Amino acid sequence: MGEVYWECPIGFRWAWRDADANLADRPTTQGVLTSLQTQICKMGEKYSLQIDEEGIAVTVETLTHMKGLLEWATIMQDSQLKQQPSLVLSKKPWRDQNLVAAAESFFQTNAYHPFATCIHGHTGPIPMSQTDSRPGGENPASGQRNITHFCPHEECNSQDPLNFRSNRSAVRDVAFLEEAGIFTYRTIDRGEKIGYPVATFREFNIFVSRMANRKASGEDKMPADLFKKAPENFRRRAICIVNLILTGH
């Protein structure tokens, strides 16, 4: 595979505060350029600055350089620009070292929980690959790779410290499914039994012996080995609990 097409973040754009002014009449953005050059020297990364009638845009050529650009973008301030930047995305064919970052973005995007949200409840995370250079001045490309999770919502517009996993165990309200009658032909009415009680202790032991070793059968995470190796008194008490569950109590 020589190239991939996938939408990845490549920079940030700031709009002019005074959108009606002509580009020739605007003061210079020397402060922005000086601040950007300082960041370039600090991170050893390459950024591109574009100025047009809509505002300014700072982009990267290497996708893993978004980490340094993000750090700069969150603190950059200029009186001529709106404080909140927007994310610049591109689907252009990614090759060489960008191919790996684009592939990481693809797999991470598809790995997000369907209802994954940031700490403020926003959905639609955007993964950003980054490379942390190793101590001793080694090549940054040989450093450890990891993925940060960016929330593009205007209230956040930053990385999410919980990696969009703050609600991974949450379950959304399914009342609309019940109202639509989706479960009417599959669910058991209230008070109905879900099974019949275990008749004898011998029958219970047969069921237990058929359970797989080192496997948990439910949310309590109690493996079958616990019942297999438990003393007889424990198993006889377990029958009572199992029968209460099966008979709907």
Q: What is the pLDDT of residue 148?
A: 83
pLDDT at 16 over 50: yes
Give the residue among 38, 109, 39, 34 at the shortest CA–CA distance from 70.
Answer: 39
**pLDDT tens string 189-217:** 666 666 678 888 898 888 888 888 877 76
d(CA 205, CA 89): 61
What band does 68 get if pLDDT is binned at 50, 70 and 90?
confident
Structure tokens at 27: 């003061």
pLDDT at 230 over 60: yes
Q: What is the pLDDT of residue 222?
A: 78
Structure tokens at 41: 């020297």
pLDDT at 76 over 70: yes
Contacts of the segment 105-111: beta carbons below 8 A, 24+ positions apart? 105/6, 105/8, 105/63, 105/129, 106/4, 106/6, 108/147
Q: Which residue has better confidence, 43 or 85?
A: 85
Q: What percent of the chain has pLDDT over 70?
A: 78
Instruction: Provide Rg for the chain, Cα atoms.
Output: 29
Q: What is the pLDDT of residue 135?
A: 45
Structure tokens at 108: 């991470």
Q: What is the pLDDT of residue 6?
A: 92
Residues in contact with 116: Cβ distance below 8 Å, sequence separation at least 6, in sequence order: 123, 125, 164, 165, 167, 168
Find which of 37-51, 175-189, 200-214 is predicted with most confidence, using mean pLDDT: 200-214
Q: What is the pLDDT of residue 7?
A: 92
Q: What is the pLDDT of residue 32?
A: 77
Residues in contact with 236: Cβ distance below 8 Å, sequence separation at least 6, in sequence order: 201
d(CA 123, CA 14): 23
Kindly report whether the global pTM for this prediction surpasses the value 0.75: no
Distance from chain centroid for Cα 238: 41
- Where is average pLDDT lowest: 83-87, 228-232, 244-248? 244-248
Distance from chain centroid for Cα 160: 9
Provide the phi-psi class of 13: left if phi over 0, else alpha when psi is between -120 and 50, else beta: beta
- The one-letter amino acid at 147: I
Q: What is the pLDDT of residue 94?
A: 92
